[in-house]
Amino acid sequence: MKLIIIAPRGKMGRLVTASADAREGVDIVAGVAPSGRDYVGQDIGIASGLGKEIGAPVVDDLEAVIDQCDAIIDFSTVEQGMRTLASARKHKKALLTGTTGFSDEQRKAFSDAAAEIPVMLAANTSMQVNLLYRLLEMAAKAIGDSTDIEVVDMHDRNKLDAPSGTASEIGELLCNALGKSMKEDAVYGHVGEGRREEGSIAFHSIRGGDWPSSHTVYFIGNGERLEITHHAVNWKCFSEGAVTGVLYLTGKRPGAYTMQDCLGL
C-alpha cells in the first residue's frame, strides 16, 4: 500500500510516520505540510524525527502527489481535514481521518463521500478502545435503563475539543443502545442545585499536563456501580491502530468503515 501522511510533524503525524515506516506492506510516498513550513522539501523521515531518509518528500500541495498513493492518513485540523476529504473524493483514494471536532454538517460530508471512496472517520484509532465500545454497548443494553450513566474523559492540556471525540462517540453509542438522543439527553457537567436529571447521560472533561487519554464510563446503580475504563499511557496505540485501519481500507469498496470492522466486531 502506498501511503500519504498529512501533517507529518504534528504530534500524531510523527508517530504515524514511524508506525507506517515499520509496518510490512506499507510504502510512504509523501507527507503534506501547511504551506510555508520550513520543513517542506525535506524527506519525511527527517521532518518527522525518524532520523533517516526514507525516500518520500514533504510537500505543501496534496494535489501534486495524491495520484501516487492508494490511501491517506490525516491527523491534522478540521480545516485541513475537509480539504483532504475533498481531494481524496476527487481522486478516489481511501482515507482514514483521526482528527476530531468536526461539526454535524462536516461529518455528513464524510458520510456522503463514502458513496464514492472507502473512508474511516475515527475519533479513536486504538484497537482496545474500539473493543471498549462493544463492551459499553453490551453494558448499556443490559443495565443502562436501571443505572445513572456518567462519562469522564481526561486528556492533555492542549486538547482542543471537550468532550473528546471519543467521549462523543461513546455518547452516541450509548444513546443508540438506549433509544436516547445526544441533543435531548446529554448533560455537560453538574452545577448548581437540584437532583440529577432522570435518564440523562452526563459528560465531564478533565484537561491537564501531558496525559494522552483516559475514558471511563460509570453505570451507577443502588448499592453498586460498574466502571469500564481505557487508559492510553502514550499515543503509540493510536498510530499503530491508524496504520492497521488504513491497511484495512485498502482495496475495499466505497463505504463508511470503522475501527471495529478491523476487529471483526
Helix (H) and strand (E) counts for the chain? 10, 12
Q: What is the pLDDT of residues 147-166, one digit of tens each?
A: 999 999 999 999 989 999 99
Residue 123 confidence (pLDDT) above 90: no
- The verdict on whether omega for the bond into residue 254 sits within 30 degrees of 0, i.e. cis, is no
Phi, psi of 223 (to 5 degrees): 85, 0
Q: Which amino acid is at 25?
A: G
> What is the average pLDDT across 13-27?
97
Q: Where in the chain is the domain with CATH 3.40.50.720?
A: 2-125+236-262
The pLDDT-based confidence of 135 (bands split at 50, 70, 90) is very high
Residue 263 confidence (pLDDT) above 90: no
Q: Where in the chain is the domain with CATH 3.30.360.10?
A: 127-232
- Per the CB < 8 A criterion, the answer to whether 30 and 65 are in contact is yes
> What is the average pLDDT across 27-44?
96
Please state, in angstroms and rounded to a whole number, the distance separating the CA atoms of residues 169 and 261.
Answer: 15
pLDDT score at 160 = 87
Residues ≥6 apart with Cβ < 8 Å to 224: none
Query: CB atoms < 10 A from the CB of 89, how many?
Result: 20
Residue 77 confidence (pLDDT) above 90: yes
- CATH superfamily, domain 2-125+236-262, is NAD(P)-binding Rossmann-like Domain (3.40.50.720)
One of 1.10.8.350, 3.20.20.110, 3.30.360.10, 3.30.1490.20 is the CATH number of 127-232, namely 3.30.360.10
The pLDDT-based confidence of 210 (bands split at 50, 70, 90) is very high
Please state, in angstroms and rounded to a whole number, the distance separating the CA atoms of residues 101 and 116.
Answer: 23
SS3 157: coil
Q: Catalytic residue, from 159, 180, 215, 230: name it.
A: 159
Q: Catalytic residue, from 93, 155, 215, 230: name it.
A: 155
Grid cell, residue 93, equals: 483514494
108 given a catalytic annotation: no
183 given a catalytic annotation: no
